[in-house]
Structure 1
Amino acid sequence: MRSRAISNATAGVDRTIMTTFDKDTLAELAPKGRLRAAINLGNAALARRGDGGQLAGISPDLARELARQTGLELETIIYEGAGKTFADVDSDVWDVAFLAVDETRARKVDYTAPYVEIEGTYAVPVDSPFQEMDQLDVPHAKILVAQNSAYDLYLSTALKAAEIVRAETPGASLDQFDRGGHDAVAGVRQTLEARYANRNDINILPGSFISIHQAMCAPKGRPLALAALSSFIEEAKSSGFIAERLRANGDDTVKIAPPTD
């Protein structure tokens, strides 16, 4: 399921980015004449609905700033999970997206350097015998994931004995976990904390099984657009834009990715 919203991205922020977008780059970046940005709501640390239904988080902020820099009208295409976002890459629905870097996806999209890094971990029942990550990879253990999420792609090869149970979206995986019958649910730490931090019947395991590198991406075959997006992301990191927006959104526990040499 996806939804759309169109806006003129003119709202300013204190720190701006100064990437230059020439005519040829703009034509390649936004061939329909407007910037179509896919926003994945499956990771609350990066994008979510705020008060009044407005999009909040670093990914929408980057989309708005990119639209402001380019002078393009911003169209946001909303998805409930990364797998659904990626599934539309061949459908000419979006021009830029915010996805975890993954070798499988890289067959169809080109990535910038990462802009943030987030942890993948597990939530388990408080009375579960599995209270450490390495205890879960055993026969008969059932682990819920969001289908085609970054952690699904990773765990599908990393786990040797446990059974992976796939739900359609991150939210659906949490709902299914809450109904019982599974040993753990995998997810992004901030998403799990938002759901379970105040629950005394659920533990979120310490540490992480993967560090997920989040980047901007564009469909393959747009080299000018990729070069401009790469510059945009590097300047967003070095200028302090990303740090400022993470603080403003209350997401300052998210780690900013290091600059690219």
Structure 2
Amino acid sequence: MNTSPDKTIVAALAPTGKLRASINLGNPVLASLDPTTGEPVGVSVDLASELAHELGVPVEFVVAQSASVSVTNVSRGKADIGFFAVDPKRGEEIAFTDPYVLIEGFYLVRNDSPIKTNAQVDQPGNTVAVGKGSAYDLFLTRELHRATIVRIPTSPAVVQGFLDQNLSVAAGVKQQLQKDASQTGGLRILDERFMVIRQAMGVPKSRGDAAAQYLANFVKQMRASSFVADSLKRHHIDGAVVAGEGS
């Protein structure tokens, strides 16, 4: 961004003198651990680091294994900002920016499953594995009325939980499902996405409107400047696209 932020903005976004960013490792499109250093890497890490640079403060990564824990980190003041799928329930306490990337949510089934289309998922007797507190959990809780949702502790464990518990369907990030399917075998992903996940940055509403607006402007700048696109490319992420204006 072109101008240095006002001291009140810095105090609102980094009240401890450093920017504490909650990083969710449960979504591999956004972040993962570097196998060599053990440090978090990914587009959300890059954005947090750049924001801290803009604010003129150091960054501290508060690592979470699931979206629900990451949301709790921010809503309870353990972190200053986070990276989340936009959802009305989360929006009760967190002010979201516009999305910076869009991620597709898909269903996975066994090769011999009679389920061929998304419309066949929400039927009595079907069981759907989903990461507890994830965007998929929140969305499917509203949308599925006949199938039974089975909540797995973290999104990366969904396919294993689906297999171990002999469930009907697994729901999650297409990229994660593809990876798990290639490693396990005997699984297929349905042809049509069931949702588009709008991944945004968020700050507690208690930090004030000015802080929320600054963060919103930051995301717009990062999106328009190709920062987000370059980060996705650098981390070899093909499971997401840069969100357009008004997404």
TM-score tier by shorter-chain length is over 0.9
Are 2:224 and 1:238 aligned?
yes
Whole-Å separation in 2 of the counterparts to 1:151 and 1:51: 27
Alignment partner, residue 123 of structure 1 = 108
1:27 is matched with which residue: 11, 16, 23?
11
Shift of 1:175: 2.1
Superposition CA RMSD, Å: 1.6
Shift of 1:115: 0.3
Alignment partner, residue 44 of structure 1 = 28
Alignment partner, residue 14 of structure 1 = none
Confirm or deny: 8 A CA contact 1:40 1:85 kept in the other structure: yes
Shift of 1:260: 4.5
Residues matched between the structures, number? 245
Deviates more, 1:169-178 or 1:135-144: 169-178
Alignment partner, residue 145 of structure 1 = 130
Confirm or deny: 8 A CA contact 1:243 1:252 kept in the other structure: no
User: Could you tell me the TM-score, scaled by structure 2's length?
Assistant: 0.94
Are 2:203 and 1:218 aligned?
yes
Whole-Å separation in 1 of the counterparts to 2:141 and 2:120: 16
Letter in 1 for 2:213: A
Confirm or deny: 8 A CA contact 2:131 2:155 kept in the other structure: yes
Alignment partner, residue 164 of structure 2 = 179
Whole-Å separation in 2 of the counterparts to 1:55 and 1:19: 29
Alignment partner, residue 95 of structure 2 = 110
Deviates more, 1:169-178 or 1:26-35: 169-178
Whole-Å separation in 2 of the counterparts to 1:50 and 1:90: 27
User: Could you tell me the TM-score, scaled by structure 1's length?
Assistant: 0.89
Are 2:213 and 1:227 aligned?
yes
* Runs ≥4 residues deviating over 4 A: none
Letter in 1 for 2:19: L
Confirm or deny: 8 A CA contact 1:18 1:232 kept in the other structure: no
1:55 is matched with which residue: 14, 17, 40?
40
Q: Deviations over 1:182-229 (max 9, x none)?
A: 011110111212222354311011221111100000001322211111
Deviates more, 1:133-142 or 1:46-55: 46-55
Shift of 1:20: 3.4
Percent identity of paired positions between Structure 1 and Structure 2: 37
Confirm or deny: 8 A CA contact 1:19 1:228 kept in the other structure: no
1:176–1:117 Cα change, 3 Å: same
Gaps of 5+ in 1: 1-16
Deviates more, 1:151-160 or 1:173-182: 173-182
